[in-house]
Chain A
Amino acid sequence: MSRTLNENTSNELHRTLCDLLVLSEADDCLLCDTGGYVLAREGDGDHDPYQMAALGAGVYGASRELARLLGEREFNVVLHQGTQKSIFICAVHADALLVIVFSQNASAGLVKLYAKPAAVAVRALLEDARRLAMEAEDLAGHPLVLNRAGPLFRAGP
């Protein structure tokens, strides 16, 4: 089965993440799953969201294993602070993550404060999306037709 997002859920996610960016004064915000899939992205960062998701999911997974080593169930957030940019990662549920990038003039405290309710809202949206997918309403009306023009990838320009 595929994870799917329809237009409605996409719009709701968009709204939730935009609100989060405004309130927390962060620059960039990414919703991904623990496998590294990019579910949604808002903000004005110029970094590749696919790279961010792959690495963010890796970092979060590694930190979860570290927690386990220490006998913790999990660390609830991962925070990396740089001089210009910082990154904050928290779980939305067992297999989705919010990755938030903020700069010096925002505060980690503010990001943390608003990430929590945003994560709760996002979780509800994802659960709705999953239920919709189960009810088979989702791929219906979205025919995917395979292109058949030879090999997908080629060496050379």
Chain B
Amino acid sequence: MSFVNFKKKEVQLKIVYYGPGMSGKTTNLQVIHRMINPTARGDLTSVATSGERTLFFDFMPLVAQAFEGYETRFQLYTVPGQVIYNLTRRLVLRGVDGMVFVADSQWSKMAENAESLANLADNLALQRERLGDIPCVLQYNKRDVPDATPLHYLEYLLNNRDVQLPTFNAVATTGEGVFETLNMIARLVLHRFLAVNKHKEDGVRELVLV
């Protein structure tokens, strides 16, 4: 559920980084925070345990000039990956406009990846939404580990569907793939935002796919 304030000339959109525990979701936000022009971002807030594991969520607002004359705010969230925090994940998913699923390329994490993706689908169903209706980008992270799972296996495991999700290979710790992923999900979210509001004749006059 995006939000438009015509008086303030502001659009707000919500993007959630999802995936199993330790796959690199928080690292994605940290890298964006560190590398992006500081005028384009707010603070990165982490609600974490003392052991740095995400307890509640991480949050960081980004601002961009996506529409002429409007300020577009992307609210970036991560969820805690650990299985027991499912209630928290559901809270964070409320009103989501787009998702990045951060998969862990380590061979030992394949079951957790698949389980987390199934959990995402379940949680979306609870709010009467479906993976596939909401823009989602798959990030194959930790491509640098020695036992990195071959991409074709990741594709088979996580992206075996009629309409495939866009994918990016990443090494979040070095920043590789992080901005590519962010720009793709931002773009998909904007396109969907325009498309779902398009039936309101003239409301959105120009749908420019770039």
Residues on A lying within 8 angstroms of B by beta carbon are 1-7, 10-11, 33-39, 48, 50-51, 54-55, 57-58, 61-62, 65, 95, 136, 138-148, 151-157
Q: Does B160 contact A (CB under 8 A)?
A: no
Give the residue of B47, B65, B203 whose beta carbon is less than 8 angstroms from that of A143.
B203
Given contacts A33-B3, A50-B42, 18 further A-B contacts (CB under 8 A): A2-B2, A3-B3, A6-B7, A37-B3, A37-B12, A54-B77, A58-B47, A65-B91, A140-B202, A143-B203, A145-B67, A151-B183, A153-B179, A153-B182, A154-B36, A154-B179, A155-B35, A156-B35
**Structural contact, B7 and A36, CB atoms closer than 8 A:** no
Within 8 Å CB of B95, what residues of A?
33-37
Majority-rule SS of A interface residues: loop
Q: Are A139 and B204 in contact (CB under 8 A)?
A: yes
B44 to chain A: closest residue by CB = A51
| Residue pair A143, B61 in contact (C-beta under 8 Å) | no
Tell me, rounded to whole Å, the shortest Cβ–Cβ distance linking B85 to chain A.
11
Task: Determine whether the beta carbon of A58 is less than 8 Å from that of B57.
Answer: yes
Given contacts A54-B59, A65-B87, A148-B208, contact A143 B202 (CB under 8 A): yes
Interface of chain B: mostly helix, strand, loop or mixed? mixed
CA distance A2 to B2 in the complex (A): 5
Listed by A's residue number, 16 A-B pairs whose Cβ atoms lie within 8 Å are: A1-B196, A1-B197, A4-B3, A4-B6, A10-B5, A37-B14, A39-B5, A48-B42, A54-B75, A58-B56, A58-B91, A65-B87, A139-B203, A142-B203, A153-B179, A157-B37
B residues within 8 A CB of A34?
Answer: 91, 94-95
* Given known A37-B95, A147-B67, contact A5–B59 (CB-CB < 8 A): no
User: Is B11 among interface residues, defined by CB-CB distance under 8 A?
Assistant: yes
Output the nearest chain B residue to A41 by Cβ-Cβ distance. Answer: B8
Docked CA distance A132–B203 (Å)? 13
CB contacts (< 8 Å) of B66 on chain A: these are 146-147, 152
Question: Within B181-210, which residues are at the interface with A (CB < 8 Å)?
Answer: 182-183, 186-187, 190, 193-194, 196-197, 199-208, 210
B108 at the A/B interface (Cβ < 8 Å)?
no
Contacts of B157 in A (CB 8 A): none
Contact of A144 among B43, B67, B210 (CB under 8 A): B67
